[in-house]
Structures are given as structure tokens and as C-alpha cells.
Structure 1
């Protein structure tokens, strides 16, 4: 492994570096009051509030409460986060194996979800994927990864989840008891109104006796809609099932077994083909015989978590985006980027453009009818209440920034960069200022980050880190004054109190967007290891700032804030070593240059703001040709590395730089 020496002393520590280390240290401590008050000593949760709980929902919310804890560990969080992550995953898995699903099975069977849609499974098992990054050598994590993925390769004869003939996951709900429609028949046959429905509208516009959501408040309307849902949406494949590719890709990263790569390719290719059959736009339902619209009267929309209900593109895009990334990662084929790009292109062609240039893309497709549900940031008809419906499309809204950002991040093509900029929300600027809002992933500032990388928002690192610090302190303050009775807790009670917030750290240190929330793997330009402690993450006192991302180049600044101790940090090209360093250019002082280095023009003196002069040595370019690079940073020193990179050229794995764990 190539080793560099960084010894350029700084005279004033960068503010961003101080904030970065302050945030890491704050999060290290802030979880203690959360655990002490809201989680039992054995790791089990205070929800459900009764041991007689019955249902199929909310296992995901329990795992989600800790979804980013393993990720924080690999950024450099305290060692305790590794043990806490394992403890919580084990405790929740065991706890929910005690609750009845109401379908003849426990909620968790064989340590896995008995059967649910992948919108929720994807949210929940994100924590598990990050645990592979956290500790790939843990035999329990690896065994589970293999067994969980095996459910979708039909390796458990009691859990058939894949139809290899039609290349489908044949039902919207799948899991350890196989893919079936049992949940729909038991739980959804009567679709009685509950308040959250006011944000999503109706599944179907042609159900007799159901013209508005109010009709679901009556038994006749509820039963009619429930019958239609079971008949049309309980069978067949849906785009959200593409999120299962992360579970299978996760097993590949552990083992390198080609059967997992082959499955991901086969399943993603099947959906790419279906989109082509449908004129380019992905259909949201494929029947048991592999026919688009087979159970929906021939319509390509109307499936479960599809184009019409509940979220439209917001959830369909998760399946498409995650699948495109996983196929690119495993196959190393940039053609898969087109799967995501093509969907956004079609929606963009149908956009309504506001006077300020904001592009409102259709979020949903479906039949004309009643669209008077409660909306946010969506174009309305003249009455100010009814959602605009135009040529089969509705819910016209600015697209969520993470989709264009992930597209450009994967491709690094200027055309995708221009598309991203054109899709900004100019009505409520989301690209040049920090907005205070709450998302599940505690993220949402993707456009601001890209503006920073473009040189248009130089203060962003300090602002996003300050914002993240504020998030933590706000939650600590809330917990100190919290008077809520635990008997009234909802399933997200820990999620809304989670003191781990990582958007700024991911963007600035790894050069990475937040993973797509419903089950996306970490896509990162860089990753770090503490070479002395032999563990993932930045060493103590070390801060990193990715300043530039290009197709074949990454610029990152490293700082060692410790006043007396040097630090040794290993950089990895990509979250899974999928990239390759080709060369590195940096500057050193004195004799620190390695033998054989290509010295640039020597600058003997540098004038400092104080008027004094600081002798410096030379700019050096060295060949690397590997996925790891070690940097020894002297005390109170910094360096800027210009890294030449070849992206998506290596076989990805969880292999660590100090030993082969990967049997593949």
C-alpha cells in the first residue's frame, strides 16, 4: 500500500474541521440519554405498548430507529456504536418474534420479516446493510446476510419468493414465509378511512360507491375499496420489489459468490425490459403470468405502492434508483444508469413550468376523478383545493433533490449535472441555503451540497455542520423536557428522538450523498480506516473535506488537529473498494517526499498573512494503482490530495485493508 507523509503545518485550524470533530464527539455522547430513557437495558423497545400486540406493520420502524448507527461507526464514531448496533438488531429481532401477525405467523420468523412490502422492508433492513460495512468479520452478520438473501433465491423451500420463469417476485409482500397475498386478505379487505389517507387520495377512481375519501368512512365504501385492492393489487410484481436487490447485493459483498450477482442482473434486467415494453416508463404492476396490467384490467398503473397510490414516484423512484445503483456496482456497467435517467427524462418532458422557472414534474399517473386530498408543495387547480390532473398525470411537484443528485453522482456526466440544476426548486430555493425541516433520513440538502462542489456555496461545510449540531442539541433539549407518557408512544417514538445525524459528515468526509432511504447501499467516493487502531473510520482528531468530485478526479483535504500526536489514515476508493486510485498529487515540506516521486516546481518560500515566511517543499505526483492509500499526517498538519480515480472498475466487497475476509 502506498504511504504518503503530510506535514504542512497550519497556523489556524479550519473552522469546518473543528465543527466536524465537535459533531462526532457530540453524537458519541448524545446517545446516552436516549438509551437510558427510551430503550430497555436489554435493548428491547417500549413499543408496542402491550405484549398482546397483533399486526404486520412497524418492525421496520424499530430497526429504522438505529438505521444510521452502524454508518456513524464507519465514519469514526465511538467503538460502542458497533456493539450497540448489534445489540439493538438482535433485541428487536427477538422481541418481534413474539408478536402475532394475524396471518398465522409471528411478525418475525427465522429472524426475518414474515412478509411485507419492500417500501418498509427496505427502510428497516438498511441498518443491517450498514452492519456489513461496520463489521464484515462478524460471523453472525455474514451468516444472516447469506440466509436472508437466500430467501429470494428460493434456497429455503418453505419460503418461495421468486419466480425464475417470469423473473418476478410474484407478490407485493414477501419474506421468511414466502411471497403470498395473505396479508391483503386478512388486513386490507376492509379499507376503512384513517386520517393519514387524507394526504394520498384514492387507490382507484372506478370503485362503485367510492367517489371521495369520505366514502371510506362508511362500511359499504370501505368494503368495496378493500375488495378492489385485494383483487387488483395483492398479486403480481411491483417496482418496489427491486429494493430486494440490496439484500442480495449485500450477500455478494460478504461472499463474492457469483450467484448473487447473477440474480441481481436477471431481476433488474427484467424490469428494464418491462419499462421498454411500456414506452419507457416503468409499469407499476406485472401479473402472476408476467403480463403488465394482468390484474388491473390492462392498465400499467394501479399496483400496490405504484404510480397512483400512495406516493407515486417518491416510492417507485426508490426501487428504480436503488436497482440502478446495485446493478452498476456489481456489473460495473454504466448502462444501468439509464434505468433511472430514462424515468426522470420522461417525467421531465411532462413537466409544468412555473413563472420562476421551477419545473413541476408529475409524481403520479392514474385515472381522472376525485383529487381533492390534502397536498403540500403541489400545483392545485383554480379552486386552490383540487390537485391538477393533466393527460393522465397528477401531483405535479418539484422532484425530490436526491434523485437528480444520485443520478449525477453515479454518472458524473455534464448532461446529468445540467438536468440537476434545471430541476431545482426556484420558488422555494433548495440549492443555496440550509432549510430547517425534518426528514426520516435527517437529510435533504443535496442541491446545496452540489452547489458547494460547483464552487457556488463556499460556506456550506460550516453551515451544514452547524445545522447538524443544532439538530442534536434540539433533540437533547426535547428529551429533557419530554413529558409524553410511554403508554402513548407511537412506533416512531425513537426515530423522532434519534440523536445521530449524518448528512453533513457523509457529504463532506466521504464525498457521498445520503443513501436512498428505502434500502439503498452507501454510495461513496471515499472511505477511511484508522490504520493504528485497525478499525473503520477517521482516526481521532482527523477531519476530512471532499472539495471536488469529477469523473476521474477527487480532491480531499485532510487535517490532524492533535497538538502532539501524528495520525495514520487509510483512504479507500469507494465504499466497497469499487473504485481505483490511479495517482495522487500533494505538497510536502522538506524531506518527507518519497523516493521516486515526481517533484513539481519547487517553491522555497510562502508568505503568510502575518507577514512571516514559511518554507515549503514541493508538489509531488505519485502513481498509486490500488484501492487503498495510507497517509501519515503529522501533528497540527494538513494536506490536500488530488486523487486520480477510475470509477466502478473493481469487484466490490466488504474486504478491509488489513486482511482478506472475503472467501469469494
Structure 2
């Protein structure tokens, strides 16, 4: 491993570096009020509010409450987050193994979800994937990773979740009790109205006696809709099942066993073939014989968590995006991003364009019918009339920024960058200012980050870190004044109190977007390890700022804020070592020296806003040709590294730099 020495002192510490370390320190301390008040000493949680709870939902919400704790640890969070992450995963798993699913067994069997859709499984098991990054040498984590992935390779004869003949996960619900329609027959045959449905409309438009949501408030309409859902949507494969590729990819990262890579390729390729059959837009239901629309009257839309109901592209895109990333990671083939690209391209072709240039893409597809449900997206056509449904497309809306951002981030192709910029919200700018909104991942400022990388938003690092600090202080204030009775807690009570927020740190330190929320793995340009402590994350007092991302180059600043002690940090190329450093140019004090060898250097002077000058600096260059690089930073010093990179050229793994 190449070892560099950074000795360029600063007179004025960068504000972004101070904010970064302040944010890390605040999150280290802010977790204590949450632990003391809202979690039992054994790690079990205060929901469900009764020990007689029965159901199939909300295990994911419990894991989600801690989804970013392992990730915070690998960024440099306190050692306690490793211990707490393991404790909470174990405690929740054991706690929910006590609750009845209503289908003849417990909610958790063999330490795994008995069977549910992957929209929810993906949300929940994100925490588990990040635990592989956190401590890949833990034998319990590794054993579970293999066993959980084995469920989808049919390695447990009591839990068949995959049909290799038709290359399908044969039901929308799968898990440790196998893939079946038992949950639908038990819990969904009698449909009913709930207030949240007013945001999503009707699953089908052709059910006799059900023409509006109000018809679901009556037994006759509810039973008719429930019967239609069981008959049409409870069998066969759906795009959300592609999220299972993360569970299998996770096992590969632990083991390198080619059987996991082969399964991911086979399953993703099958869905790509179906997408090509459907003209480039992924169908949302494939029958038990592998036929598109087999149980739904031949229609390619109308599946469970599909194009029509409830979320449309918001959820379908998770399956497509995550699968494309996993396949690219394992196969090292950028062509897999066409899977995501084709969806965005076709939806964009059908967009309605506002006077300000904002593009409103169809979020859903379905039959003509009643579309007067509550939505914040009111789009007018050229005649000033509201567009509710057009050529099977409806719910026209600006697209979530993380999809085009992830596409461009993975491909680094100019055409994808152009697409990204065209999809910005020009009516309510989402690319040049921090906007407050509540997302589960406490993120959503992807376009602002891209603007920063382009040089269009230079104040973004300080603004996003300040925003993240505000998020935490707001939650601490809320907890101090919280008067809610625990008996009234909902299943998301911990999520809305979680004091770990990582969007800014991921973007600025790793050069990474927030992972796709429903089960996406971390996609990062860089990772860090503390060389002295031999643990993941930035060493104490060290801050990092990725300033530029290109297809073959990454620029990052490293700062050591400690006044008297050096810090040694190991940089890794990619979240899983999937990239390779080719060369490096870095700034040092005066004449550049590496391991006693004189290197060529060009001298520069940096003028500060105060009018002072930083010490004389030089730029040195060196060959790397490795996925790791160590930099020792002297006290009160900094350096800028321009790293040449070859992307997606190494076999990805959880291997740590000292485990060779």
C-alpha cells in the first residue's frame, strides 16, 4: 500500500471541516436521550403496544428505526454504534419472533421475515446490509448473510422462494416460510377503506360496484375489491422482488461464492428480457408460467405494488434501480444501467412540460376510470384542463431526484447528466437551495449536491451540514418536550425520533448519494479506515470533502484539525473496493517527498479571505495501482488529492485493508 505524508499547514481551518466534525460529535452524543426514553434496556422497543399483537406488517419499521446506525459507524461514528446496531437487530428479531402473523406461524421464523413484499423487506434489511460494512468479520453476521440469501437459492427445503425454470420469485410475498399467497388469502381477501388510501386511488378500475374509494367503505365493495386483488395480484413475480438481489449480493460480498453472483445475473437478466418484450418499460406482473399479465387479463400493469397502485414508479424504480446497481457491481458491466435508463427515457418521452420547462412524468399506468383521489400534482394541458389520465398514463409529477442522480452517478455518462438536469423541478427549484422536507432517509437534496459538484453551488457543503445539525437539534427538542403516551405510539415512533442523519456526510466525505431506500447497497466513490485504530471510518479530528467526480478521477480534500497529533487514514476505492486508484496528485509543504524519494512538484500559494497566505505548497504525483492508499496528515494540516480511478474493475467484497 502506497503511504503518503501530508504536511501542508493551514492558518484558517475550513468551516466545512469544523461543521463536519461538529456533526459527527453531535450524533455521537444525541443518541443517549433516544436510548434512555424510547428503548428498553434489553434493546426491545415499545411497539407493538400489546404483547398479543397479530399481523404481517411493520417488522421493517422496527429495523428501519436503526437503518443508518451501522452506516454512521463506518463513516467514523463512535464505537458504541457497532455494539448498539448488533444489539438492536438481535433484540428486534427475537421480539418479533414472539408475535403471531395470523397465518399459522410467527412474524419471524428462523430469524427472518416469515413472508412479506420486498417494498417492506427492502426497507427493513437495509440495516442488515450495512452491518456487513460495519463488521464483516463477525461470524454471526456472516452466517446470517449466507443463510438469508440461501432462502432465495432454495437452500432451505422448507422455504422455496425461487422458480429456476421460469426465473421468477413466484409470489409477491416471500421469506423464511417460502413464497406463497397465504398472506393475501388471510389478510387481503376482505379489502377495506383506510384513510391513507385517499392518496393512492383504486387498485383496479373495473371491479363491479367499485367506482370510487367511497365504495370501499361498504362491505360489498370491499369484498369485491379484495376478491379481485387475490385473483389477479397474489400470484406471480413483481418488480419489487428484484430487491432480493441485495440480500444475495450481500452474501457474495461476505464470501465471494460465485453461486450468489450467478443467481443475481440470472434473475436480473430475466427481468431485462421481460422489459424488452414490453417495449422497454418493465411489466409489473408476471404469472406463475413466466407470462406477462398471465393472471391479470394480459395487462402488463396492475400488479401488487406495481404501476397502478399504490406508489407507481416511486416503488417500481427501487426494484429496477437496485437491481441494475447490484448487477453492475457484480458483473462489472455498465450496460446494466440501461435497465434503469430505459424506464426514465420512456417516462420522459411521455412527459407534460410546463411553461417554465419543468417536466412532469407519468408516475403510474392503468386503465381509464376514476382518478379523482387526493394528489398534490395538478397538471394542466395546453387548453388549461387538468390531466388525470392520458394513454394509460396518469399521476403526472416531477420525478424524485435520486433516480436520475443514481443513474448518472453509476454511469458517469454525459447523456445521463443531461437527462438529470432536464428533470430538475424549475417550478420549485430543487437544485440550488436546501429545502426542508421529511423523508424516511432524511435525504432528498441530490440535485443540490450535483450542482455543487458542477461548481454551481459552492456553499452547499456548509449549508447541508448546517441543515443536518438543525435536524438533530429539532429532534432533541422534540424529545425533551414530548408528551405522547407510549400506549399511543405508532410503528414509526422511533423513526421520527432517530437522531442520526447522514445525507451530508455521505455526499461530502464518500462522494456518495444516499443508498436507494428500499434495500439499496451503499454506492460510494471512496471509503475510509482509521489506520491506527484499525476500524472503519474517518479518524478522530479528520474531515473529508469530495469536490469533484469524473468518470476517471476524484478530487478530495483531507483536513486534520487536531493541533498536536498526526492522523493516518486509509482511502479505499469504492464502498466494496470495486474501483482502483491508478495515480494521485496531492499537495504538500514545499518540496514533495515520498518515502525518501524526491518527486516533481509545482509551487503554489493560497491566499485566504483574511489576506493572509497559507504556507508554500507543492503538488506531488505518484503511481498507486491499488484499491487502497494511506495518507498520514500532520497536526493542523491538510491536503488535496486528485485521484485517478478505474471504476468497477475489482471484485467487490467486504475485505478490510488489514485482512489480506
Normalising to structure 2: TM-score of the pair? 0.98
Distance change in 2, residues 1:597/1:189 (3 Å): farther
Q: Structure 2, unaligned stretches of length 5 or more?
A: none
1-structure distance, mates of 2:344, 2:105: 40
1:5 counterpart residue number: 5
1-structure distance, mates of 2:652, 2:91: 30
Distance change in 2, residues 1:380/1:230 (3 Å): farther
1:560 counterpart residue number: 560
1:77 aligns with 2:77: yes
1:502 aligns with 2:502: yes
1:600 aligns with 2:586: no
**8 Å CA contact 1:597, 1:622 repeated in 2:** no
Deviations 1:55-98, CA, capped at 9 Å, x for gaps: 00000000000000000000000000000000000000000000
1:341-352 alignment, distance < 5 Å: 341-352=341-352
Deviations 1:267-315, CA, capped at 9 Å, x for gaps: 0000000000011100000000000000000000010000000000000
Distance change in 2, residues 1:364/1:606 (3 Å): closer
2-structure distance, mates of 1:35, 1:411: 41
Tell me the secondary structure at the aligned position of residue 187 of structure 1.
helix
2-structure distance, mates of 1:180, 1:607: 67
Deviations 1:451-494, CA, capped at 9 Å, x for gaps: 00000000000000000000000000000000000000000000
1:86-101 alignment, distance < 5 Å: 86-101=86-101
1:375 aligns with 2:387: no
2-structure distance, mates of 1:611, 1:229: 70
2-structure distance, mates of 1:225, 1:380: 31
2-structure distance, mates of 1:619, 1:294: 64
1:147-162 alignment, distance < 5 Å: 147-162=147-162
2-structure distance, mates of 1:383, 1:209: 33
Distance change in 2, residues 1:606/1:150 (3 Å): closer
Tell me the secondary structure at the aligned position of residue 55 of structure 1.
coil
**8 Å CA contact 2:570, 2:629 repeated in 1:** yes
The range that moved more, 473-482 or 377-386, is 377-386
1:420 counterpart residue number: 420
1-structure distance, mates of 2:46, 2:383: 45
1-structure distance, mates of 2:510, 2:603: 31
1:435 counterpart residue number: 435
Tell me the secondary structure at the aligned position of residue 599 of structure 1.
coil
Tell me the secondary structure at the aligned position of residue 586 of structure 1.
strand
**8 Å CA contact 2:145, 2:251 repeated in 1:** yes
2:188 counterpart residue number: 188
2:294 counterpart residue number: 294
Deviations 1:195-227, CA, capped at 9 Å, x for gaps: 010000000000000000000000000000000
1:241 counterpart residue number: 241
2-structure distance, mates of 1:556, 1:18: 16
1:194-593 alignment, distance < 5 Å: 194-379=194-379, 388-590=388-590, 593=593
1:601: Cα distance to partner? Answer: 3.0
1:50 counterpart residue number: 50
**8 Å CA contact 1:580, 1:646 repeated in 2:** yes
1:616: Cα distance to partner? Answer: 2.5
1:658 counterpart residue number: 658
Question: What count of residue pairs does the alignment treat as equivalent?
Answer: 659
1:112-127 alignment, distance < 5 Å: 112-127=112-127
Tell me the secondary structure at the aligned position of residue 379 of structure 1.
coil
1-structure distance, mates of 2:272, 2:607: 58
Tell me the secondary structure at the aligned position of residue 563 of structure 1.
coil
2-structure distance, mates of 1:112, 1:611: 61
Deviations 1:617-639, CA, capped at 9 Å, x for gaps: 53111000000000000000000
Deviations 1:131-156, CA, capped at 9 Å, x for gaps: 00000000000000000000000000
1:379: Cα distance to partner? Answer: 2.4
Deviations 1:509-555, CA, capped at 9 Å, x for gaps: 00000000000000000000000000000000000000000000000
Distance change in 2, residues 1:382/1:65 (3 Å): farther
CA RMSD of aligned residues (A): 1.5
2-structure distance, mates of 1:383, 1:476: 50
1:609: Cα distance to partner? Answer: 6.2
**8 Å CA contact 1:371, 1:387 repeated in 2:** no
2-structure distance, mates of 1:386, 1:213: 20
**8 Å CA contact 1:102, 1:186 repeated in 2:** yes
**8 Å CA contact 1:351, 1:362 repeated in 2:** yes
2-structure distance, mates of 1:510, 1:124: 23
1-structure distance, mates of 2:220, 2:435: 44
2-structure distance, mates of 1:303, 1:461: 42
1:596: Cα distance to partner? Answer: 4.4
**8 Å CA contact 1:5, 1:592 repeated in 2:** no
1:388: Cα distance to partner? Answer: 1.5
Tell me the secondary structure at the aligned position of residue 170 of structure 1.
coil
Normalising to structure 1: TM-score of the pair? 0.98
Q: Structure 1, unaligned stretches of length 5 or more?
A: none
2-structure distance, mates of 1:64, 1:380: 38
